[in-house]
Amino acid sequence: MSLVTLSEVLQPAFKGGYALCGVVTLGWEDMCAFVQAAEQENMPIILQAGPGCRSHTPLPILAKMFLHLAQNAQVPVVAHLDHGTSYEECCAAVDLGFSSVMFDGSLLPLRDNIRETAKVVAMAHQAGISCEGEIGVVGYAKGASSQGTNPKEAALFATETNVDAMAISCGNLHLQEGPSAGFDIERLAAIEAVTDVPLVLHGGSGLGGDLRRKLALGSHICKFNIGTELRQTFGAALRDTLAQYPQSFDRIEILSATKGPMAEKARAIIAGLKA
């Protein structure tokens, strides 16, 4: 199909009452599996290069991988920089051909977050691509704590930054290994009442499939970031392969065996977000 911007796929989702999957990529095998899953469901896919991925593989290499997959995919593909921490890092991604960037200024004071995010948004829009920002702090399971998004601050942030998508904190957590009962529906409703921008939930694995579907079809959340569920699937598939073939030593053979289970899991997640 083609490389598309985040806004090009989120606006139809926002208007149509469904959501898309922002998949956390870590290597070639999972990237291929995720595109395959999206093609099987005939849905756009958002390939995300997060900090962990970028620390393992140089950003220029990731850009080439994403762009190659987009050029050959049968569905729209977004090449997205996830959790960019500086203007310079986001500029580098834009120069390399990414079609979307996320600037994460959530740990900054509100006015600083607005100022720095707006700067990245202006740069991204000038280049013809999209920008996601974050207001509130999404914490980590067994790690840093969260700070729930203040609805009034969210309204100010959305208006003054002109972001194409806004990540919020409503009890969702990064690296949550199982469904949690701590999602704040009332906070989400209050944010929706004062904003008109597609919303994003990081830490989507911890919500569970039933809640994700409810939110996808009945809220302004148009993008769920999914990483932990898919990493768990990869790990289980890898362990099964090594146990079944203890004498195998070929890296390509071993890692290729994870593609099927990863595609199957990603397909189920994507299907659960469809209208």
82 is known as an active-site residue: yes
Structure tokens that stand for 63 in this block: 């850009």
DSSP-H helix ranges across 102-250: 110-126, 151-161, 185-194, 209-218, 228-244
Judging by DSSP bridges, how do beta strands 221-226 and 77-84 pair with one another? unpaired
Token reading at 122:
């202006």
- Which of 82, 104, 112, 250 does the annotation list as catalytic? 82
Round to whole Å and give the CA distance between 113 and 100.
18
Burial of 238-256, coded b for 16+ CB within 10 Å and e otherwise, reads beebeeeeeeeeeeeebbe
Residue in 211, 200, 194 with CA at minimum distance from that of residue 168: 200
Residue 215 CA to residue 207 CA, distance in Å, equals: 10
In angstroms, the CA 174 to CA 22 distance is 13
**Residues classed as catalytic:** 82
